[in-house]
Amino acid sequence: MKPLTLRAPLLPRWQRQLESTSHRSTRAWRSSPLRHRYDVQKRRLATSTDVVQDANRDPNDKREKVVILGSGWAGYVLARQLDKRKYRVVVVSPRTYFVFTPLLNDTTVGTLEFRHVLESIRKPKSGVEFIQGWADDVNFADKIVTIEPSVLDPDVGHALTGPRKQNEQQTNNGLAIDPKFPHGPWEKKVQMGGTGSNQVPTFPIHYDKLVIAVGTYSQTFGTKGVRENAWFLKDVRDAVSIRRRILELFELALLPIMPEETKKYLLHFAIVGGGPTGMEFAACLSDLIREDMSKLHPHLMKYVRISLYDVAPKVLPMFDASLSDYAVKQYQRQNIEIKTSHQVEELRKGLPNDENARNDQDSQVKGRVYTIRTKQEGDVGIGMCVWSTGNMNNPFVAKALDHVRRYPTGSAQNIQGEVADPMQRQWIIHRDARSGVLLVDDHFRVNLTTECAAGMDEHDKPKAYMNDVFALGDSSKLMSGALPATAQVANQEAIWLGKTLNKHPEADGFARAPGFSFKDMGVLTYLGGSSAIFQGSGNGKDGASPKGLKGLSAYLVWRGAYLTMTLSWRNRLNVAWQWLTVKIFGRDVSRF
Amino acid sequence: MKPLTLRAPLLPRWQRQLESTSHRSTRAWRSSPLRHRYDVQKRRLATSTDVVQDANRDPNDKREKVVILGSGWAGYVLARQLDKRKYRVVVVSPRTYFVFTPLLNDTTVGTLEFRHVLESIRKPKSGVEFIQGWADDVNFADKIVTIEPSVLDPDVGHALTGPRKQNEQQTNNGLAIDPKFPHGPWEKKVQMGGTGSNQVPTFPIHYDKLVIAVGTYSQTFGTKGVRENAWFLKDVRDAVSIRRRILELFELALLPIMPEETKKYLLHFAIVGGGPTGMEFAACLSDLIREDMSKLHPHLMKYVRISLYDVAPKVLPMFDASLSDYAVKQYQRQNIEIKTSHQVEELRKGLPNDENARNDQDSQVKGRVYTIRTKQEGDVGIGMCVWSTGNMNNPFVAKALDHVRRYPTGSAQNIQGEVADPMQRQWIIHRDARSGVLLVDDHFRVNLTTECAAGMDEHDKPKAYMNDVFALGDSSKLMSGALPATAQVANQEAIWLGKTLNKHPEADGFARAPGFSFKDMGVLTYLGGSSAIFQGSGNGKDGASPKGLKGLSAYLVWRGAYLTMTLSWRNRLNVAWQWLTVKIFGRDVSRF
């Protein structure tokens, strides 16, 4: 059998050569000059890893080192859950905080302040270590993650959609080509999440157990102009810039020289995506306008419009018809126009029905207005578009984890009997064919499989799992069936994994532990004006049919539930305080 | 006598021609084709002014229109003070809020949140109208201010130091030359405060009374590299970026790959300026490090240094020796090194004693560190430099108000008898020779004088004041003697002017009202660690000698005084709440 050739296009050439020869136990390799270089490199990695480990470490510390990639719901909750007497927990994330996403919408309009929905990962006595950086690469055989620091990265804190504008500019500026990314920083960004600014050298850290919880990027379906011109709503800096923009649009419309027509465009808010995030944002925006802006600027109210677009014939598809119909009625009462079965074709700067606008951005007014084009309505002038149409796979999962360069002998357990000579095969990470996320078993272990040789049946392919690499949250999918990409799911998965690892630190015990099963606690969406809809689950213990709540009662459940969840006491008190002051004094509209 | 030639280099040529001929009542002018153009232009201005006025205005509104330029202590307090039944109040300011500057330092370290020290100028039922823009020019004869909108201006919310980097880039990008500013946007920025991005057209607004309260810019004394590399501390976005930078420096120092030497540079904080602002910032920074960072990162504490530089031999010169000595001891106890008689020569990016660093900004570490060079110490590596060495005159005051293009017949009152044929003279605004700020009488009226003709004695020059143009705060100086450039002075001036205008809406009554006199309420500086110094005034009513307080008692006076001053009830409660939560939970260190 001809040995399979490894493809590892992400590595510098010398490393590719090393990796591709390292598992060939041929005479040629043993006597190769590359071998020495490989050994040196391996020693260097080991040394620098030790340095990294020992910076803050007691040399008598014998705990297993759990490296968690990501500080979202899965990563943050797991880091808190793990028993620090048994595990040394190191979180690696591009941002220094966890975002309590269910309340992020409230911060875009000033109902809450940004810091009220953030929990710093660095807390005294938490026992959690933290490194601010992107994971660039994983070497499963040597148990090493390569980290690219993100401290100075301007993209941190924003929803990521793929290559961003900064990177295009950097490419154009003729930066030297990084040998690791021969196609330029663009490629680096798409694949790794880093900015390509190569701010500080990457460095390796060692793990005993690795948890991949890097989440997803924002989906644009490649719609023209969306990546450049839309506001996304996934992280705290997104919320900051949405809040600034809303207030900015009112200030622009208030300028005495602004033409009537332009005021209409400026104060037309478009939202794309009829899921809970988009709908709740529309509700919060409507609250701000009705409760605060209408008092400050009564004469502007005639210009304000909120339009919500969705390509599907129905918004909030996860709710029963009675609840989603109720929601639609609530939105209509708040003058939110819901435009279902509308397909967005383009989002651009400039006035509607003005083709020259694209080349004429310097003109006084055009550069301030956006145009959204749908198949059904054509061009419509807007002040901003908030885009919330779901997730796309994280490039780290899609590309960096694509190929397993060496079979991780120490970690991998074959599933279908013994595989003959596993080192001779080209192993790949087992991923979902459609979404590309990591397929995991009910213990969240990441699986390996091999590339399909010609004529080989899918079922006959060798399979293995790694007993020290886990994936949680939106970057994973259970083989037993996909769960919704919600905070609730990620939270339950992290709690299960944390508890099970605490109970069974040994691989054998862990493997025998009963697997994860999801308990649906229902879904909830805020509708504005102190109203919400809640739908319980019929899959609960008692097998009851789904129960629904709507109006004020659902709103109270909503506020109560959110206040008692993951937030720290500091933020629970802050949130309650802020809700009280907003009720009394209204929202602050200073813009800075 | 040869008619004086007007110099009005800031105006477009056609307008210069018009203005320079408009007050010559010669036969040539009457029959000139320019006359028609001038009349058309005047009508156009009048019309557009009406449009601006009437946008939100009841046509039956007969109140006098008071336009206030600026939203600092003087402008904001006056706007609140004026009786809205007698005056229609329009505030013009580049920012939408007032900053409660005495507490701004607390926001740089998270003791308070940014919004807790801001008061929005737009408040329901305040009766104050607001336009977000820079004042570009004033036509005293026609009572018209030209406004440049600032809604999209990226410099708004930052301390201004003169031309900023953005403008240099814009000049380099080869923007078309604005005819109004033939020397390019740079000139525009220096003179006007605008960014030169010419975002929307300027527009005129009419006033009945004008109050100039535009404040000052930050002084750098032209020290090399300071404008580009220092952090200033005057407005809320300065505080935002200082807070981000402090947390960023700790994250950088925590990266496992950071060399020991670089950690020392990164965590060395330099402050330049031994006045209350610089000293209080040092105290707040020391609080943050001692109370929060030391718990999060005990192993980093050995690298942390705070150095405060001042060129004078003594810090806090406004305090008695016993109090300032006490302060210096307090600072030393908190490991703040006070380096008096140190002269800063340069601030640059890069490592100390490394001349190549200037041309090698891309290197991995150098671009992250700054170097401060003093005459006494030479190069010292630092993570950031906060610059607070006082004020420089606002370019709007220095340049835009330099020449009075036409004598304002309706407003001006001659002081030294009747001036023969005032239209024939070149009038200028009477300004302080040294600082260039506006000289005002004890009614804050702006004064006019003429340029010195050859051989004319200063005392003999014709003088006049305008009975409808006032200047307050740091952009003004009382002829009877300069007052300190403090919030307290601006606040008292604004209250006096507001009350006197409310009592005497007629010019005659106003002129007869007793003039302003300042009541010194003492000075106060926070020293960190719940300690402060307070020095009362010996110039009070009872003629008592100055009294001093120090330690906890001064701290309690300080907190109490600040909470009951200008802040709204919303912010008083927020500040008290935040102080409580910080005492219990510590400061939030999430960075976004």
Summarised one tens digit per residue, pLDDT across range A393-404 is: 888 888 777 778
The top-scoring range by mean pLDDT among A275-279, A366-370, B59-63, B402-406 is A275-279
List the single residue in A96, A119, A203 with the smallest CB-CB distance to B256. Answer: A203
A509-530 mean pLDDT: 91
Chain B, window 193-212: residues with a beta carbon less than 8 angstroms from a chain A beta carbon: 199-201, 203, 205
Which residues in chain A are classed under CATH 3.50.50.100?
226-389
Task: Please answer yes or no on whether A115 and B114 come within 8 Å at the CB atom.
Answer: no
> Which amino acid, residue A339?
K
Chain B, window 154-173: residues with a beta carbon less than 8 angstroms from a chain A beta carbon: 156-157
Provide the pLDDT for residue A451.
75
Task: Please answer yes or no on whether A589 and B240 come within 8 Å at the CB atom.
Answer: no
The top-scoring range by mean pLDDT among A12-26, A89-103, A561-575 is A89-103
Q: Is the pLDDT of residue A185 over 50?
A: no
Confidence bin at A411 (pLDDT 50/70/90): confident
Task: Please answer yes or no on whether B52 and A120 come within 8 Å at the CB atom.
Answer: no
In whole angstroms, what is the distance from residue B563 CA to residue B572 CA?
A: 6
CB B407 within 8 A of CB B422: yes
CB A361 within 8 A of CB A245: no
In whole angstroms, what is the distance from residue A482 CA to residue B390 CA?
A: 62
- Between the alpha carbon of residue A82 and those of residues A392, B185, B592, the distances in Å are 29, 58, 26
CB A427 within 8 A of CB A465: no
Parallel, antiparallel, or unpaired for β A128-139 and A144-149? Answer: antiparallel
Q: Is the pLDDT of residue A65 over 90?
A: yes
List the single residue in B118, B240, B251 with the smallest CB-CB distance to A151. Answer: B251
- Between the alpha carbon of residue B481 and those of residues B345, B394, B415, B441, B461, the distances in Å are 33, 20, 19, 10, 21
Using a CB–CB cutoff of 8 Å, tell me whether A257 touches chain B.
yes
Confidence bin at A456 (pLDDT 50/70/90): low
Burial degree of B2 (CB within 10 A; 0-12, 13-18, 19+)? exposed
CB B129 within 8 A of CB B115: no
In whole angstroms, what is the distance from residue A36 CA to residue A201 CA?
A: 24
Provide the pLDDT for residue B582.
93
Task: Please answer yes or no on whether B256 and A55 come within 8 Å at the CB atom.
Answer: yes
In whole angstroms, what is the distance from residue A351 CA to residue A373 CA?
A: 11
Q: Which two tokens stand for residue A264?
A: 């209409």
Q: What chain A residue is nearest to B591 in terms of C-alpha separation? A: A96
Lowest mean pLDDT among A237-251, A264-278, B332-346, B538-552: B538-552
In this prediction the ipTM stands at 0.84
List the single residue in A122, A151, A255 with the smallest CB-CB distance to B252. Answer: A151
Q: What is the DSSP letter of A291?
A: I
CATH 3.50.50.60 fits B13-151+199-216+393-508, yes or no: yes
**CB-based contacts of B174, cutoff 8 Å, min separation 6:** none
Confidence bin at A365 (pLDDT 50/70/90): low
Q: What is the pLDDT along chain B (592 residues), one digit of tens a residue?
A: 333 333 333 333 334 333 433 333 333 444 444 445 444 444 444 444 444 444 556 778 889 999 999 999 999 999 999 999 999 999 999 999 999 999 999 999 999 999 999 999 988 888 999 999 989 889 999 999 999 888 888 888 888 887 433 333 333 233 333 333 333 333 333 223 333 444 457 889 999 999 999 999 999 999 999 999 999 999 999 999 999 999 999 999 998 888 888 999 999 999 999 999 999 999 999 999 999 999 999 999 999 999 999 999 999 999 999 999 999 999 999 999 999 999 999 999 888 987 655 444 445 555 689 999 999 999 999 999 999 998 998 888 887 777 788 888 888 888 876 677 777 778 889 999 888 999 999 999 999 988 766 666 667 778 889 999 999 999 999 999 999 999 999 999 999 999 999 999 998 899 999 999 999 888 889 999 888 999 887 544 444 455 778 888 888 877 777 777 778 899 999 998 999 999 999 999 888 8
**pLDDT (tens digit per residue) in B90-108:** 999 999 999 999 999 999 9
Using a CB–CB cutoff of 8 Å, tell me whether A360 touches chain B.
no
Confidence bin at A206 (pLDDT 50/70/90): very high
Q: What chain A residue is nearest to B365 in terms of C-alpha separation? A: A200
List the single residue in A113, A115, A252 with the smallest CB-CB distance to B151. Answer: A252
Provide the pLDDT for residue A182.
32
Provide the pLDDT for residue B278.
95
Residues of chain B positioned with their CB less than 8 A from the CB of A151: 248, 251-252, 255
Q: Is the pLDDT of residue A159 over 80?
A: yes
Provide the pLDDT for residue A454.
61
Return the residue in B44, B52, B151 with the most chain A beta carbons within 10 A, the one to mutate for interface testing.
B151
Confidence bin at A152 (pLDDT 50/70/90): confident
Which residues in chain A are classed under CATH 3.50.50.60?
13-151+199-216+393-512
Using a CB–CB cutoff of 8 Å, tell me whether B263 touches chain A.
no
Using a CB–CB cutoff of 8 Å, tell me whether B133 touches chain A.
yes
Task: Please answer yes or no on whether B296 and A237 come within 8 Å at the CB atom.
Answer: no
- What are the backbone angles phi and psi of residue B134, rounded to the nearest 5°? -95, 140
In whole angstroms, what is the distance from residue B435 CA to residue B426 CA?
A: 22
Q: What chain A residue is nearest to B362 in terms of C-alpha separation? A: A199
Using a CB–CB cutoff of 8 Å, tell me whether A45 touches chain B.
no
In whole angstroms, what is the distance from residue B288 CA to residue B90 CA?
A: 40
CATH 3.50.50.60 fits A13-151+199-216+393-512, yes or no: yes
Confidence bin at A103 (pLDDT 50/70/90): very high
In whole angstroms, what is the distance from residue B549 CA to residue B557 CA?
A: 9
Provide the pLDDT for residue A453.
62
Task: Please answer yes or no on whether B257 and A201 come within 8 Å at the CB atom.
Answer: yes
Task: Please answer yes or no on whether B118 and A247 come within 8 Å at the CB atom.
Answer: no
Residues of chain B positioned with their CB less than 8 A from the CB of A126: none
CATH 3.50.50.100 fits B226-391, yes or no: yes
CATH topology of domain A226-389: FAD/NAD(P)-binding domain (3.50.50)
Chain B, window 557-586: residues with a beta carbon less than 8 angstroms from a chain A beta carbon: 568-570, 573-574, 577, 581, 584-586
